[in-house]
Structure 1
Amino acid sequence: MKKTKRLVLLAMLTAVAMILSYVESLLPSVGIPGVKMGLANIAVIFALFRFGWKEAAALSLVRVVLVSLLFGSVGAMLYSLAGAVLSLAVMALLRRIDRFSTVGISVAGGVAHNAGQILMAMLILQTKQLLGYLPVLAVSGIAGGVLTGLAAALLIRRIPEF
């Protein structure tokens, strides 16, 4: 694939991820702090499978920074970055092993994202007590990971290779 076409497709995926992040922010809260579906992860997983981990990392990092600057705060960006980096590292490793389904990779990424956010909060607040919240967020990561993984798997199957 030509570099220009690749760049345009990644820019489009980044825009889709940003839109999904924004749409998710408009959805009503489930009442549990930190619990979200992670809709933008659909675009990240798609990029991971179609382009590779470097492109998925670029998409994820650009999305986190832009969404935080446009719709959030710099403080929230720290939590999002921690979650995105750990999530992508886990998903890229599992993708490389090549024994996990799209849904399995997404679930692992969802749980890792929440763990990354807890770790960042522990660093900022200087307390280990936040580890007690990890099981709640792990369940959320599993549920969101299944949903986003199914959506990403469907797109990977239905959208032809570029």
Structure 2
Amino acid sequence: MASFGVFVALALIFSYIETLIPFQIGIPGVKLGLANLVIVIALYRMPVGEVYLLSGVRVVLTGFLFGNLMSILYSLAGGILSLTVMWGMKRIRSVSILGVSIAGGVFHNIGQLLAAALMVETYGVFSYLPVLLISGLLTGFVIGLAAGEMLKRIRSLQF
């Protein structure tokens, strides 16, 4: 229970730090995803059910603290799809943590686009897909590198 609380706290701290970083490229939904570092590490250190709970708690708390109801809905859609894909990819032995994280970044954006298409009832939102795929790939790569290094350093710690 204590480690779960630590993971939630870290995810909230990273979410807050992300709000302080002026990262705008003019495309809605593009952000660094620093809190996803915690989710990727948790996926390799905790049972998957706890990781889903962690992801949901993180999204709801972050939404209430730094966003709004719409950001919660979009983040939940992206987070659930992303985590499901990452969990599936992690089960394939030949896929590294880097590959898992990249898939998570890409599918997080796809999940958000699917939610947006349902909410605004148009497929026009998919015109953002190329940019969001590239951003998901890049941020997933960076998060994957960081998560891999973190996991190397905390291997001996018990959770």
Q: Scaled by the length of structure 1, what TM-score is found?
A: 0.93
CA distance in 1, matches of 2:46, 2:157: 10
Q: Are residues 1:20 and 2:24 paired? A: no
CA distance in 2, matches of 1:54, 1:79: 21
2:4 aligns with 10
Q: Are residues 1:94 and 2:89 paired? A: yes
Q: 1:152 aligns with which of 143, 147, 150?
A: 147
After TM superposition, the structure 1 = structure 2 runs for residues 62-81 of structure 1, keeping only pairs within 5 Å, are: 62-81=57-76
For 1:97, what is the secondary structure of its paired residue?
coil
Q: Cα offset for 1:98? A: 2.4
CA distance in 1, matches of 2:39, 2:127: 28
- Contact kept, 8 Å, 1:37 with 1:143, in 2: the verdict is no
- Contact kept, 8 Å, 1:103 with 1:145, in 2: the verdict is yes
2:135 aligns with 140
Q: Scaled by the length of structure 2, what TM-score is found?
A: 0.94
Q: Cα offset for 1:30? A: 2.8
Q: Are residues 1:31 and 2:25 paired? A: yes
Paired AA for residue 123 in structure 1: L
CA distance in 2, matches of 1:55, 1:42: 16
Structure 1 stretches of 4+ with a deviation exceeding 3 A read none
The unaligned stretches of length 5 or more in structure 1 are 1-6
Identity within the alignment, %? 46
The total of aligned residue pairs comes to 156
Range that drifts further, 83-92 or 66-75: 66-75
CA distance in 2, matches of 1:31, 1:136: 10
Paired AA for residue 10 in structure 1: F
Q: Cα offset for 1:32? A: 2.7
Q: Cα offset for 1:152? A: 0.6
Tell me the C-alpha RMSD between the 2 structures.
1.0
2:47 aligns with 52
The unaligned stretches of length 5 or more in structure 2 are none
For 2:25, what is the secondary structure of its paired residue?
coil
